[in-house]
Structure 1
């Protein structure tokens, strides 16, 4: 399968917001995919409609890798102070895999990080044959609350 044959998964999104975010994340990873370097693209939406992109940065030492959602969060914070409301991530298939690009949920670390910075954020998830926005707190109902920052009300 060539890069041009990989399908955009935004057609399974139920809401316009999720379709827009997934299409943006897909376009980024379809353009920047590099085997064993960049496999996931992410898009974060701010309350004003701005879309901020991030690319997965793999590393020789796995622990040093940075998730696309974290990069998108950093990109958003470099350009706006507006509240962040939604996130989507798309994984591009390796050449040895059958299938097309697919929507992936944020990993556990990204769930914690995103909720630290956007306690009301939603994530695009595939549920059955469709994708839709789901509150990130549903994926991480008992988020860690430390003493570093004042409590954020939900």
Structure 2
């Protein structure tokens, strides 16, 4: 088994790193997704999906990678990829998975300009704007005004 194919160098690097992470740490019903998050300094930070008996208590791989990145650096975050490893009963190969809605919100809180690897119509991974996947992000009053990149995206969407 190998990492899914991608159409550009950054996507391929992140998908390969996410795949290697989950391939090394896969445990049935515990760890099924690995994530890799690239920062502006070129470092890659890793996260592992942590399943739980109570579904809401589970932690997504992207959230783990975000936490790891923020522990390691304050550099801007550039791109993220997540790969789901198949269960032993599945015949399909490992595949790229987009962030869930909760992770989209969380990642955009910390990196409004973040790109994410998704599977294109040709089957290959490609980078897209995460804000484009969540065009109506919740913006509360907790932290004041939205980040400039998000505000700019909001203006262009109108």
TM-score (norm 2): 0.91
Cα deviation code 1:10-65 (max 9, x no counterpart): xx211101100000000000000000000000000000100000000000111000
Name the SS of the counterpart of 1:41 in structure 2.
strand
Cα separation, 1, equivalents of 2:90 and 2:111: 34
Query: Hey, what does 2:3 align to over in structure 1?
Result: 8
What is the aligned length?
Answer: 147
Q: Which residue is equivalent to 1:40?
A: 33
Structure 1 residue runs without a partner (length 5+): 1-5
Candidates 2, 7, 10, aligned match of 1:17? 10
Runs of 4 or more, structure 1, over 4 Å off, are none
For residue 147 of structure 1, what is the aligned residue in structure 2? Answer: 141
Match of 2:83 in 1: 90
Structure 2 residues not aligned, in runs of 5+: 150-158
CA distance in 1 between partners of 2:85 and 2:26 (Å): 7
**Cα RMSD (Å):** 0.7
Q: TM-score, normalised by structure 1?
A: 0.94
| Cα distance in 1 for residues equivalent to 2:34 and 2:7 | 20
